[in-house]
Amino acid sequence: MEGGIGEVDHLAGERATALFDVDRMKVAWAGSRHAVDVADRMARLVASDPVFRKDNRTMLPRTELFKDTLKKAAHAWKRIVELRLTEEEANLLRLYVDQPGYVDLHWGMFVPAIKGQGTEEQQKKWLPLGLQGLETTATFDPKTDEFVIHSPTLTSSKWWPGGLGKASTHAVVYARLITEGKDYGIHGFIVQLRSLEDHNPLPGVTLGDIGGKFGSGAYNSMDNGVLRFDHVRIPRDQMLMRLSQVTKEGKYVHSDVPKQLLYGTMVYVRQAIVADASKALSRAVCIAVRFVGEWLKWLYTDVTHKLEAKDFSTLQEAHACTAGLKAVTTSVTSDAIEECRKLCGGHGYLNSSGLPELFAVYVPACTYEGDNVVLLLQVARFLMKTVSQLASGKQPVGTTAYMGNIQYLLQCTCGVTTAEDWLNPAAIKEVFEARALRMAVNCAQNISKAPSQEEGFYELSPDLLEVAAAHIQMIIVTKFIEKLEQDIPGEGVKAQLRNLCNVYALHLLHKHLGDFLATGCITAKQGALANQQLGMLYALVRPNAVALVDAFNYTDHYLGSGLGRYDGDVYPALYEEAWKDPLNRTVVPDGYHDLPPPAAQAAAQPLVQALIDFLL
Amino acid sequence: MEGGIGEVDHLAGERATALFDVDRMKVAWAGSRHAVDVADRMARLVASDPVFRKDNRTMLPRTELFKDTLKKAAHAWKRIVELRLTEEEANLLRLYVDQPGYVDLHWGMFVPAIKGQGTEEQQKKWLPLGLQGLETTATFDPKTDEFVIHSPTLTSSKWWPGGLGKASTHAVVYARLITEGKDYGIHGFIVQLRSLEDHNPLPGVTLGDIGGKFGSGAYNSMDNGVLRFDHVRIPRDQMLMRLSQVTKEGKYVHSDVPKQLLYGTMVYVRQAIVADASKALSRAVCIAVRFVGEWLKWLYTDVTHKLEAKDFSTLQEAHACTAGLKAVTTSVTSDAIEECRKLCGGHGYLNSSGLPELFAVYVPACTYEGDNVVLLLQVARFLMKTVSQLASGKQPVGTTAYMGNIQYLLQCTCGVTTAEDWLNPAAIKEVFEARALRMAVNCAQNISKAPSQEEGFYELSPDLLEVAAAHIQMIIVTKFIEKLEQDIPGEGVKAQLRNLCNVYALHLLHKHLGDFLATGCITAKQGALANQQLGMLYALVRPNAVALVDAFNYTDHYLGSGLGRYDGDVYPALYEEAWKDPLNRTVVPDGYHDLPPPAAQAAAQPLVQALIDFLL
């Protein structure tokens, strides 16, 4: 769907080659003609409204971004009322406004169908997570017919709920119910957090935003919050009493609703997430497809030809080696940084973990100094050339010298018969060499079947990338093994490095098992033994993990991470960082009192918000 | 290395289990005792200096961040002079300041060893990239003994060079040399860009920052720039004349230095990038290891036990199915968004491409509503239970119903003999079912060999993750195939969807070839045929790619991307976006004139900067 109608269509040629009816495909994606039409209408409504502009979003300081979120929420509400939009239309309008915010929950209260099931919905969302370690208590006081809500420690603070930091006025708080001196486990309570008059937190309630998150714009428009209670009193009837009740006298009574029912419906939330995935992915694909196709082809052939023209044989090997190592190490590194970030759970998404910035500052290395895909294709071309010259007796040099051993490597069989045999460096080295060479030879044969060499290179690009990666992995594994042949002083130091080397090699072997099996370098049984050995090596590395990273010798300043602190004292660090966020400079956020009447009215409604002790 | 010395060490227990000498390991990582010591000294120097604080970096608006970069550059220079640091020490100090900026290049001019080879170094860096399509010309005018530098079109603007946007005063510009009416191809010219008095761009020079980039903080401290020339005149002797000269009369003369020599040394830059990778990766690992270990174990066992306790059989299947689908779809989506971003080359790193924000706003889906790793382990536990109940004749339900077919699936052989046979949906479905079931059965057998079931689950976690993924992939492939059995109207629509379904299934088969081969579901030959068919399918999809993404029906507003525009008119959009950046509001950046004397003096030195027409 075109947005601004320009005079050019650089993609017209691409569109002309399509072999199908695009309009009917839209129906197929969306599910029905109606779905296409209503989405279309809402998308255009949002796109044409200047209040919903988002091109400046990543440039706004966080306080301004939040103000912008408030303004958009108010305006969206105004449009929904003015145009008498249906629930379906209103939901789509929110989708296309495309800015996460407290209003995602807020509006839920004003759309009738959601309103009816609000509390149950939120239980579905939050119950499955973090059910243990909950330290907040709700102690019944029969003298005043009230519960006393209290978070005794820093780690009992609520952390993460969206909309809590600056916007929510009420919350459903999960706490351990204590009555007649007995702990009855976790129950929900509706607690008012802020004044409906001046929006200030009520006495005993500590509230704030948890700080900036991954990216510019992105989820920074959401005020994920931190909350702590100091003996806050609420009336008895604010306990959620569908499953069990507390009487005026303090007696705990079960209802006959089966508890498990509450769990079943989380299925719904997960299903919604699965559906959303396709939206985010299709957006990215849409951007990449419209930009990349022709450009990448040009870039690749051009750069390759330029470099191929210079045929200095050792220089070429050095080029292929460094280009390939650059591509493999930068890709592996950026993927692994992101893997580490995700392993840190929700907290890895906070800027104060240091990981979002580390990823963002590192990842351009995959592109600069030669795009990794282009570089690997160059390496593969060099390998194809090297293979083709083997027949004429030309001896390969440097890191391709192993290819000279072609007769042996094409027919050798791996001698491993026990898991322990996989600790033999010579066995590892040989299978990595055999795999790399056999893949290169197979690929060269397939290219020779194509009508022309250029067509062969183009069609077999995906295979060529794998050939190059196999070669580079062989280099890294071999160099690691060679390093371990040297003397490395210090008690246990060499043993640890040997474990890491074996973990690395066997991890690669398992990850690319298909390569090793398909080329007949190892048998399925040997593959299973390698994986078994890998499991044993993990168990050896685990007790040394913290000490191994200590040996990187990084200061806390350099790591710049609340999670990676030397002393492991994570929570006070995160807590302290959160309060530094500019959004926490004022209690009532800038722009809150400027909301126009209809939205202001909406905002004054109790914003019921489900909370849990996330991870704590 | 501890940063702030606290009273606690939550990781002391972890450190006590290490089986090696951490101090000697530091030496092993760093290469020598000297390297550890000097790094240690510089790291502490930076960490203890309040000017180098970086905890607030992600919270700063971009203009403030840039000002902070200027301040740090000046302070670092001051410290280097005051302490008479060696080149090695100064380089380490810069590393630990840990903030990319124009100064990375700037300082290069003042460190003697780099100073000597400056220009050649920069040629190494830029020459291999984007050598074609260069539209900027340097036309010799013998009347005035000058070259006239001119960028005739928008697409001939220089784009990306670091330090160019706001800081550089001089540049090495690559342009097509024209003399005596003939085009001699690409040569380098030293061009002054800004006044050394007031730092304003010289007449005919258009200069600006290209706008915000991926992440908060991160590379936003660097002023990557855009540059365009309108008939700017430079003296003849500012052409780089090592390889060839232009005489006063306009004659073009070659020197006898072989041109290829310039290419060889780019090897050096790549090697430096490979070395840097380990630093970024080890930082991330350091953070993750110190945080994750114990927490993840607790989270997993706790959540699993809570959920296992409720044994509602169909509910459990639905839980396993949605949990698994949530994990697989969100992981695949976030990885693929990032893949799309990288495919867009350098431009995918700009916020104006829309992709950094899309990634950052989507990726928490991998963590929220159940961490994906934890969810997959739950799915695997459910599958293990289902397998164990098969023996007792219990019929599996829903998406696990295929497991009831165990006798057949354990012994069936794939009948594919040609590449075309892989287009048969029944063949695809069967191998995915057989693979999932055989992996589950193998894993269950391995668990039964462990001393206890719990230990088995713990040790075999990596295998369990693969079992769960194989099962979920089978569900997705099967559902896609079932969908295609329905009527889908529109010319060519169903054919396209069938191609995509086959691409998806065969791509998975190739990616996880090891699983299929190791379990004997297919032979190596059949795997090769599948890959061959996949190549043919790619060729079928390619001409439909742009039309397929058009069918997602996204407005340009919703995509929010200069690269993904419907009309493909990418460059004017990027150009326009760049000028909106707050850093471009002033010509001379805020803070530039506040630099203290030594750094100001340094800043006034010509900042030689190599440029290319990146991608253009």
A476-516: pLDDT as tens digits: 999 899 989 988 888 889 999 999 999 999 999 999 999 99
A272 close contact with B: CB closer than 8 A: no
Rounded Cα–Cα distance for residues B264 and B122 (Å): 13
Look at A64-78, B226-240, B581-595 and tell me which has the smallest mean pLDDT.
Answer: B581-595
Residue B7 has pLDDT above 80, yes or no: no
Residue B152 and residue B137 in contact, taking contact as beta carbons nearer than 8 Å? yes
Q: Measured in Å, how far apart are chain A's first and last C-alpha atoms?
A: 46
Domain A19-99 homologous superfamily, CATH: Acyl-CoA dehydrogenase/oxidase, N-terminal domain (1.10.540.10)
Q: Which of B249, B134, B33 is nearest to B612 (CA)?
A: B134
**Across the interface, which of B128, B289, B344 has its CB nearest the CB of A546?**
B289
CA distance A303 to chain B (A): 7
Decide if B577 and A312 are in contact by the 8 Å CB cutoff: no
What CATH number has the domain spanning A400-559? 1.20.140.10
The H-assigned helical ranges of B310-424 are 313-343, 355-362, 372-390, 406-411
How open is the CA angle B179-B188-A314, to the nearest 5 degrees?
115
Q: For residues B568 and A327, what is the distance between their CA atoms, to the nearest angstrom? A: 29
Q: Which residues of B touch A325 (CB under 8 A)?
A: 270-271, 274
Q: Chain-centre distance of CA A3, in angstroms?
A: 29
Start-end ranges of CATH 1.20.140.10 in chain B?
A: 403-559
Between A274, A340, A517, which is nearest B325 by CB? A274
Question: Could you tell me the CATH superfamily of domain B12-115?
Answer: Acyl-CoA dehydrogenase/oxidase, N-terminal domain (1.10.540.10)
State the pLDDT at residue A3. Answer: 42
Give the B window 276-295 contacts with A, CB below 8 Å: 276-278, 280-293, 295
Tens digits of per-residue pLDDT, B468-507? 999 999 999 998 999 899 888 888 899 999 999 999 999 9
Confidence of residue B129 (pLDDT cuts 50, 70, 90): very low
- For residues B256 and B199, the model is more confident at B199
pLDDT at A612: 31
Average pLDDT over residues A87-112: 66
The CB density around residue B298, as the number of other CB atoms within 10 Å, is: 13
Q: Do B215 and A361 touch (CB under 8 A)?
A: yes
> Over the stretch A526-565, which tens digit does the pLDDT of each residue have?
999 999 999 999 999 888 888 888 888 888 888 888 888 8
Please give the residue that has the higher pLDDT: either A334 or A131. Answer: A334
Q: Are strands A170-179 and A610-611 parallel, antiparallel or unpaired?
A: parallel
User: pLDDT grade, residue A73 (50/70/90)?
Assistant: confident
Closest residue in A to B289 (Cα–Cα): A546
Residue B552 C-alpha, separation from nearest chain A C-alpha, in angstroms:
6
What kind and span of H or E run contains A223? Answer: none
Asked if the Cβ–Cβ distance from B560 to A27 is below 8 Å, we say: no
Q: Which of B374, B510, B555 to mutate to test the interface with A (most CBs of A within 10 A)?
A: B555
Residues 460-519 of B with CB under 8 A from A: 460, 462-463, 488-493, 495-497, 510, 512-519
Identify the three-state secondary structure at position B308: helix
> pLDDT digit string (tens) for B269-286?
555 555 566 566 666 676
| Residue B308 in this model has a pLDDT that exceeds 60 | no
Strands B137-141 and B170-179: parallel
Whether residue A219 and residue B361 make contact (CB cut-off 8 A), yes or no, is yes
Q: Count how many Cα atoms sit within 13 Å of the Cα of residue A188 in the half-sphere of its side chain.
A: 21
Kindly provide the b/e burial profile for residues A123-153, where b requires at least 16 CB atoms within 10 angstroms of the residue's own CB: bbbbbbbbbeebbbbbbbeeeeebbbbbbee
A552: β partners: none
Q: What is the pLDDT of residue B257?
A: 61
- Residue A2, pLDDT > 80, answer no
Entry field: residues in chain B: 616
DSSP state of B194: B
Which pair of structure tokens corresponds to residue A523?
Answer: 């048998």
Tens of pLDDT along B138-168? 999 999 999 999 998 877 777 777 778 887 7
Instruction: List the catalytic residue out of A64, A146, A369, A466.
Output: A369
Please state which of the ranges A280-284, B184-188, B490-494 shows the lowest mean pLDDT.
Answer: A280-284
d(CA B166, CA A474): 44
Distance from CA of A235 to the nearest CA of B (A): 31
Going A530 to A536 to A541 to A542, the CA torsion angle's sign is positive
pLDDT greater than 90 at residue A287:
no
Residue of B6, B289, B615 with shortest CB distance to A569: B6
Chain centroid to Cα B548, Å, comes to: 26
Please say if the pLDDT value at position A604 is more than 80: no
Tokens of B560: 């929010």
Q: Which residue intervals of B195-265 are DSSP H helices?
A: 261-264
Least confident residue range of A260-264, A386-390, B18-22: A260-264
A145 vs chain B: nearest CA distance in angstroms?
32
Superfamily name with CATH number, domain B117-264+581-611: Butyryl-CoA Dehydrogenase, subunit A, domain 2 (2.40.110.10)
Distance from CA of B141 to the nearest CA of A (A): 30
On the question of pLDDT at B345 being above 70, the answer is yes
Q: Long-range contacts for B140-145 (Cβ within 8 Å, ≥24 apart)?
A: B140/B177, B140/B178, B140/B179, B140/B180, B140/B236, B140/B246, B140/B250, B141/B233, B142/B248, B142/B249, B142/B250, B144/B233, B145/B235, B145/B236, B145/B248
- The residue whose two tokens read 């699993």 is B304
Task: Report how far residue B451's alpha carbon sits from residue B458's, in angstroms, rounded to the nearest whole number.
Answer: 11
Most confident of A83-87, A583-587, B210-214: A83-87
- Whole-angstrom CA distances from B300 to A274, A424, B371, B450 are 22, 35, 9, 19
Q: How far is CA A362 from the centre of its chain?
A: 16
CA A78 – CA A75 distance, rounded (Å): 5
Where in chain A is CATH 2.40.110.10? 117-262+581-611
| B56 Cβ under 8 Å from any chain A Cβ | yes
Closest by alpha carbon to B61, among B572, B589, B562? B589
Q: Give B271's contacts in chain A (Cβ within 8 Å).
A: 322, 325
Residues of chain A with CATH 1.20.140.10: 400-559
Q: Do B43 and A555 touch (CB under 8 A)?
A: yes
Cα→Cα distances B263→A335, A578, B266, Å? 30, 49, 6
Which 3 state secondary structure label does DSSP give B249?
coil
Lowest mean pLDDT: which of A231-240, A584-593, B105-114?
B105-114
Closest CA to A231 of A160, A170, A334, A152: A152
CATH 2.40.110.10 spans which residues of chain B? 117-264+581-611
A337 at interface of B, judged by CB pairs closer than 8 A: yes
CATH classification code of B403-559: 1.20.140.10
Residues in B touching A346 (Cβ below 8 Å): 364, 367-368
**Which chain A residues are within 8 Å of B584, Cβ to Cβ?**
none
Per-residue CA distances from B115 to A515, B75, B94, B118 (Å): 47, 21, 17, 5
Tokens in use for B548?
Answer: 């397929």
Question: Of B146, B134, B167, B163, which is closest to residue B238 (Cα–Cα)?
Answer: B146
Measure in Å the smallest separation between the Cα of B213 and chain A Cα atoms: 8
What is the DSSP pairing of strand B137-141 with strand B146-150? antiparallel
Residues 6+ apart with CB under 8 A from A202: A192, A193, A194, A195, A232
ipTM of the complex: 0.79
C-alpha dihedral (B288, B292, B293, B296), degrees to nearest 10 = -150
B2 has catalytic annotation: no
Distance CA B206, CA B584 (A): 12
Three-class SS string for B119-144?
HHHHHHHHCCCCCCCCCCEEEEECCC
Active-site annotation holder among B338, B369, B459, B466: B369
Instruction: Report the residue from B25, B288, B510 with minimal CB separation from A490.
Output: B25
The length of chain A, given as a count of residues: 616
**Cα–Cα nearest to A323, from A390, A392, A381:** A381
Residues of chain A found within 8 Å of residue B131, distances taken between Cβ atoms: 302-303, 306
Distance (Å, rounded) from C-alpha B90 to C-alpha B80?
6
Q: Which of B32, B46, B48, B281 is most worth mutating to test chain A (most A CB atoms within 10 A of its CB)?
A: B281
Q: Which part of chain B is CATH 1.10.540.10?
A: 12-115
CATH hierarchy code of domain A117-262+581-611: 2.40.110.10
State the burial class of residue A594 (Cβ atoms within 10 Å of its Cβ: 0-12, 13-18, 19+).
exposed
A305 at the B interface (CB within 8 A)? no
Residue A146 bridge partners (DSSP): A141, A235
Average pLDDT over residues B309-327: 72
